[in-house]
Each structure stands twice: as structure tokens, then as C-alpha cells.
Structure 1
Amino acid sequence: MLDVALKLVNEIDKRIQPIIGWENAGKTVKIGADGTPTKMIDIIAENIAINVLEKYGGILLSEEIGLKVLGDEINYIYILDPIDGTYNALKNIPVYSTSVGIIKIKEEDKKILKNKDIKFIEKYLYKNYSINDVYLGVVKSLATKDKEVFYAIKNKGAYLIKGDEKIKLSVSKVNELKKASVGLFVYGLSNELLDMLKDRLFRRIRLFGSISLEMCFVANKALDAYINLNESARLFDIAGSYIICKESNAKITDKNGKELNLPISISSKTSLIIANEELHKKLLPIFSNKWAIKPLSFGFVVREDSKEAINLAKDLINYLKSKNIPCYVKENIKNLINEEKINIKKISHIVAIGGDGTILRAARIANGEPIPIISINMGKLGFLAEFDKENAKEAINKVIKGDYEIERRIKLDTIINSKKLPSALNEVVIITKNPAKILHFEIYVNDTLVDDLRADGLIISTPTGSTAYSLSAGGPIVEPTNNNFIITPICPFKLNFRPLVLSCRNIIKVRLKSNKPALIAVDGIVEEEIKKDDIVMFKKSDEYTYFVKGKNFYEKLKNIFLN
């Protein structure tokens, strides 16, 4: 059927070109089967396709006509988008295409479907066929000079035909967000898109307006990823390019990480995240409202000096193993709990049982990877903990079922003389190396001098850390999901210097003016010594820490302060 699909896209290409720029091509003539306005150019392209496919027979699903039986034989299902990127075609913007995905109808179904009415066929296809039954896909660019054709046959690879060349396709190996070029399809400025633009999360963002081509650009390494957050990707748009991406080894899910299983229906729509396996893992937690991936295995980080915490960990591990879910443990408790050591590449979730110190260790183990932390309080305050020991098993069950939310927290990077320290979830503290000695700082925000400060030390805190050391030093409480940093002095010499809250998009620099050396502590761990005139730079990390959401933040505040 590849020759039929190629004939289809080539015929549309040949006959559609003369009407590009024609003033009536953009006239709205009706509302299509999918509920969107149909332009004259769409009708013309669809009729060209029908004339080609009637010779071969089958069932056509197309965005304008809906479902139509062609010819006498029902051997194939054709899922067609005659013009993907209609607006671009009308405005002569050179990014539009024709896309078709083809499914073989099972032998037993041919008899069932023959001579049946449209409503019966619609219901039958919806129940018995999905996008994963597409075995052949072809997408042709209708505007480029070489008229590239992308195609794939299930289990036989994906290819690009460009002139006389035939090139095997495979996805990009770029796995760092800052190096990734990403295609987007969005309606309106969503919060997610605004965050990406503000944070400069990716190397570049492209919005082309032709889903099928953009998916093929991922298969061809022209883009490192493609993201559709609006759940507006229709079956017509993606059926052909879906198999092309799959055969080029792309990972394709909806924005919540679920594998696509779109039923064959004119109403089928989805969100999309498409990239290589490693980049997909990093994209998923940025956009998903719920972490819907089935957990593969759990790593346990446990307060080792607490018998109660160790016993709870053993109980939870036995429970998970009864469900055939592997468990791993931090090496410091391996002699207490006989399980294999944590390997960051093997675990999907971390269970942290203890106080805030234990949870911070878990965050450091995750090291920016999209691994959610299930934080269970077995300490005293437990500001970072989302669950108590009484509802620990309930939290685990929700994770197993995929019925839970993720809360993403920003982190803070510290750079000293080009050396990057571990990222901080709570705070970075500059303190004197010699007790009872005051330090002298110059504080800059985006290279503007903010203050000349003498104090016992200085805290640069994230919103998560606003309720930790910063709070004790007189800093404000900030919601942990905010995008801010807090500069809090420790016992300042001048009483008029107050804690400063600023956007995390700012770059903070601190110059040590004292002759006395100072220490840099990241989340309570001393990492580096600095001396006079050293400059310490602070900026928002590219990494995040992810928590399985439990307690309400304000309820947590109320309970802790009342206690």
C-alpha cells in the first residue's frame, strides 16, 4: 500500500499548487465533521484524495467528510488530513502538508463491516481499532523545494525521500533541556508556555502550525522534541506521523505520560510529548499535572538513627514487594534492610522517611532527575514532609494507581570562580569560618549593587527553604511553588537591611570583602571555602525537585506554628 499512499499525497500536491494564493481558497464553505470550519482548499484536497482511493476501496476517515465507505471492498482504513496547516497554505507560509495513516482491516472484520451503515461502522471501529493499529504512514511537505516525503512501515523503519535520496530516520540524541530545540502547538499563552519563555528552558522554541510535519521533524532530528499541551492533536493530524515517529525510536505519550491508544474516531484527540527516551523523561514532569506513569521501582532513604523509621521502611518494602514492585535502599541502611543499593537509573520514585534532613538527602540523590519524592515525616518539624506515618501506605497506594499530583520546586545553583556546587533545594548559607567574627559583603542583583552589608552571615533561600533557616533569621514565608529567591542577612550590623524577595530570573552575586575566610554551605552541608574578593554567583537551576503532593501548605503552617 505504500505506492497507493505515495500516489495519494503526490496527486494532492500536484493539483493543489495552482490554487495556492487563489482568493476563494480560504472561503469557509461549511463546518467539518470534527466541528471546525472547512475552507475551500480543504474540500478540494479531500475530493482529490477520494478520487484516488475509490479505485482501491476501504473506509476513509477525514476531518471534513467524517467517515465514508469507498468502493466495494473493505480492506483498509485510511486516516487522512488532506491539508495539515491550512492557515499556512492560505497565507503561503511554507509549512503545510498532506498526511495519511493506513490500517489493515482484519479478515474477520471485513465480513462484519460489509454493507453496514455508517453509524454501525463508526461504533465498531471505535471499539475495535486504535492508532496503534496503523501500520503505514506517509507525510508529504507541500511547500518545500524538494517536496520531502516522510514514510514508515511498522517494524520496517522510517525514511525520508528527498530528491533521489532515501534516508533512514532516527530521533535526536540531545538529552539536555538547555540544548534542545522544541516544537510547540498551543492555543493561547498557557502558564506552561509562559514559564518556558520566562525561564528560557530550551535552546529554542518553534511554532510551525503543522502537527504532522513537526512530528516528522522530530523523527528527522530537525527538532529534538514536539509538545502539544492543549489536547488538540486530532487523530487526523497525527495518524501518519505517529508511526513515523515510533519507527524512528521516538517516545510518544500524552502530557501525563500515558501511552497513546486513541480509538479510531473522528472525535479522538490527545496532548503529546515526543522526544528521545532520555529527553522525554525530563520533559514529562515539567508539563504533567498528574504523574500518571506506572512506577517501576522505589528507592528508600531513611533516617538511620530512628528505629521507628527503619521499621516503617521495612513494612513498606514488604508491602511493595508483595505487589512485585522492586525496592532499593540508601547504602547507609543496607545492613539494616537487606535490599540492593539505590541506582538512580533504576528507580522511578524515592520514599524519604525521616525529618527535613532526610528529605534533603533524598533530593540530592535525585540530583535533578524527574524522580518524585514521597516524603514521610518521622522527625520533629517536618516542613518538607507531605505525609505522616499513619497515611504512608495510603500515599504509596495512590502512587501505584497513578492517582496523585506532583509539586515541582525550583532549586538554586551556586557558582564560585566557575566551579558549580550541588544545587540547593532549601538554601545556600555564607557563614564565617572563625566563630564570633563578622563578615563584610557586597550584594549585587543583575550587576547592580544592592547593599554593602556587615553581618554574621547571609542566606540565599528558595521558596521551599523560606520556612527553614531563613525563617529563623527573620525571613518571610513564601509558598513553595513560587518562583522567587529570598536574601536574608544573619544578625546584620545595620538594622535597616531587611530580607529581600526577588524573582528567580535574577542573577545574584555576592563579593566577600572581609579579610577573614568564609564557608559556603548548601542545604546544611559545607561545600567550599571562600576568601576576600571571591565572587559567589547564584541563579535558578535548570534542575527541579519533584514531590508527591500531600498536605495543604497552609494547613501545614497552621499545625506547625500551633505546636
Structure 2
Amino acid sequence: MFITWATKYGALFSFRVFLGRGGVKFGVGELYEGGNLKIGIIARLETPGVLKVVRRVMNVLRGEEILLERGLAKKLGRSPASSRMLKKADAMITVGGDGTVLFAQHLAPDVPILGINLGRRGFLAEVKPVEVGPALEKLRNGELQVVRRERLRTMIGTKRLADALNDVVVASASMGKTIAAKVLVDGEEAMEIWGDGVIVATPTGSTAYAHAAGGPLLHPDLKAFVVVPVCASSPRPPSLVVPIDSHIKVEPTRPARDGYVVVDGVVKARVGYGKSIEMDRSKNPALFFKWEKFYRKVRERL
């Protein structure tokens, strides 16, 4: 699946942690000092109007060092930044939708992201096109805070998958078939499902697939995860809100049918009967520049 995304967005690069002027790291919750920034830009190239917005971003950030990933640089007729240069980025700007943000944070999990929304909803990509100028000026002037967003660590046996910013979905590996599974929280059976699957979501992900499946919304600062059954047979188990330090395990219980694990819609893995998917709080939260207030987004976009 990473190959597909690489085709859409260009080369896969890693980025270093967010550093302020003079190489001083700024803590979460502090304001960025601004000036002499090295800024990476990732864009969803298929989105209508994306290059126009990218050019506007570059114009507003004139004077800063702009690092374009390979696919975007080719579209703009500019030289791409080297992998080494991109690793020195101080911040990441995404232009697209929430999927672009998810892709960027999987590539650069330690770099704060500011997302410009050209998609349909834009819960992660908070900045509207008309707000590009003010948002980027605030970034340059040190008026945007960096906030943490919880992520899920996911293990299948000894194999660790990418950490999830939004959710981990366990479904049947057979298209159109149901899955039978048990969900255990801290070793205690919490629900048994027979249906399309189960979603384990972070507070950030509670506004996405988990919400569409009937789960509750969690404020991003709430220290909890939500477990949501998807189209489960009657009696339908209720959604669960569990403490952030919980250990969550999903065990497929039907020998003839494997499970399929999807992390943030990007990373996928197959899990057979007799194996389990284990999730808990990641030690590596995602980092974002805070632009829009949560309840405003709830009012306007859900």
C-alpha cells in the first residue's frame, strides 16, 4: 500500500524532529519562535487546484527554505529536495485532505504538520484555502502552538505495524464476509462480535470511521480510546470508551476465516486464526500545529 501512496505523493522520505531557530527544540504546547524555517511540502497531486494552492503557500513562505518532495517538484518544474535535506525539515505543510495528513504523519511521525484542506471534510487538514495566508503568517511569526495527538501501537505477534493516528480496523480478509472475534481489554473479555469488523480509534480517529459506524466523539485532549463494532449481528455490542493506558486485544474466533488489519487506511496486514491483534498507547504521539478549535469543527463538519 505504501507503493500506491508513493505513486500519488512522490518519493518516500523521513523527517527529523521539529527544531526552532538555532537548533533549539521547542516543547509541545510552546509557541514556535519563527524565522529561518525549513519547510517540507506534500500534496495530493490528483486534487483539482492543488498546484495553485501550493504556489500560494510557497509565495507566502518566501524567504524560508522550501523542501518539495519529488513528485510535487516534478509537477512544478523545480529541483526536488534530497532525502538528507528533507530530514532536516522543521515543519510539514500538507495540501489535500485528511488522507494526505495521515500519509505525511506516517512518513514523518516526529514533525509537526499544518494541513491545508482541499478535501470534502478536513478534520485533520484544518486550514481552509481562504485561510492559507493568515495561517502561514502565524506559523512564521510564532503564533501557532504545537500539540500532541495520541496514537495507537499495534502488534501482531512480534510484528509491529505503523502507529495509528486515527484507527486500527479489524475486518474479514474475505470481501463481503463477516468476521467473528473477541475483544479483550486488560485481559478481560469486553465484547464478542459477529459482523463486518471492529474499530479501535484514538480521540482523533473518533471523528472518522468510528463516528460513521456509530461511535461517540472524543475530545482530542481526552485520555481514552474508543472500541466500535461495525455492523455487528444482534444483539449489537455497545461501543466502549476505555482508558488511554488500556491494553486491547482482538482475537479472531472463526478457524476458516482470516482477519485483515488496516492502520489509518494505509498499512494493511493479514492475521490468521489463532493469532491476535494487540493495541495500546504509543509512546510517540503525532504533532500538529493547532489552528482550529475542536467544537467549531464539530459544528461545521459533522
TM-score scaled to structure 1, two decimals?
A: 0.48
1:357-436 correspondence to structure 2 within 5 Å: 357-367=99-109, 369=110, 371-436=111-176
Equivalence for 2:95? 353
Q: Alignment length, in residue pairs? A: 280
Partner letter of residue 54 of structure 2? Answer: A
Q: Percentage identity across aligned positions?
A: 28
Matching of residue 461 in structure 1 with residue 201 in structure 2: yes
Matching of residue 318 in structure 1 with residue 59 in structure 2: yes
Match of 1:519 among 260, 263, 284: 260
Residues 484 and 327 from structure 1, CA distance in 2 versus in 1: closer, same or farther, beyond 3 angstroms? same
For structure 2, which runs of at least 5 residues remain unmatched after alignment?
1-18
Partners of 1:550 and 1:495 lie apart in 2 by: 41
Judge conservation of contact 1:329–1:342 (CA < 8 Å) in 2.
no
Q: Secondary structure at the match of 2:284?
A: strand
For structure 1, which runs of at least 5 residues remain unmatched after alignment?
1-255, 260-276
Partners of 2:69 and 2:20 lie apart in 1 by: 27
Match of 1:336 among 75, 79, 84: 75
1:434-473 correspondence to structure 2 within 5 Å: 434-473=174-213
Partners of 2:161 and 2:283 lie apart in 1 by: 13
Equivalence for 1:80? none
Partner letter of residue 366 of structure 1? Answer: A
Equivalence for 2:12? none
Partner letter of residue 463 of structure 1? Answer: P
Regions of 4+ moved over 6 Å: 256-259
Match of 1:509 among 209, 225, 249: 249
Residues 295 and 495 from structure 1, CA distance in 2 versus in 1: closer, same or farther, beyond 3 angstroms? farther
**Cα RMSD (Å):** 2.0
Partner letter of residue 363 of structure 1? Answer: Q
Matching of residue 554 in structure 1 with residue 295 in structure 2: yes
Residues 389 and 498 from structure 1, CA distance in 2 versus in 1: closer, same or farther, beyond 3 angstroms? same
Partners of 1:339 and 1:549 lie apart in 2 by: 30
1:145-164 correspondence to structure 2 within 5 Å: none
Partners of 2:137 and 2:160 lie apart in 1 by: 38
Deviations 1:240-286 (A, max 9, x none): xxxxxxxxxxxxxxxx9688xxxxxxxxxxxxxxxxx8xx74xx434
Residues 467 and 505 from structure 1, CA distance in 2 versus in 1: closer, same or farther, beyond 3 angstroms? same
Q: Secondary structure at the match of 1:466?
A: helix
Partners of 1:352 and 1:438 lie apart in 2 by: 36
Partner letter of residue 332 of structure 1? Answer: G
Partners of 1:354 and 1:450 lie apart in 2 by: 38
The CA deviation at 1:517 is 1.2
Which structure has the bigger radius of gyration? 1
1:115-130 correspondence to structure 2 within 5 Å: none
TM-score scaled to structure 2, two decimals?
A: 0.87
Partners of 1:529 and 1:467 lie apart in 2 by: 26
Q: Secondary structure at the match of 1:285?
A: coil
The CA deviation at 1:330 is 2.6
Equivalence for 1:93? none
Matching of residue 492 in structure 1 with residue 232 in structure 2: yes
Equivalence for 2:39? 298
Q: Secondary structure at the match of 1:290?
A: coil
Judge conservation of contact 1:453–1:494 (CA < 8 Å) in 2.
no
Q: Higher RCO, 1 or 2 (CA under 8 Å, sep at least 6)?
A: 2
By percentage of residues, which structure has more helix? 1
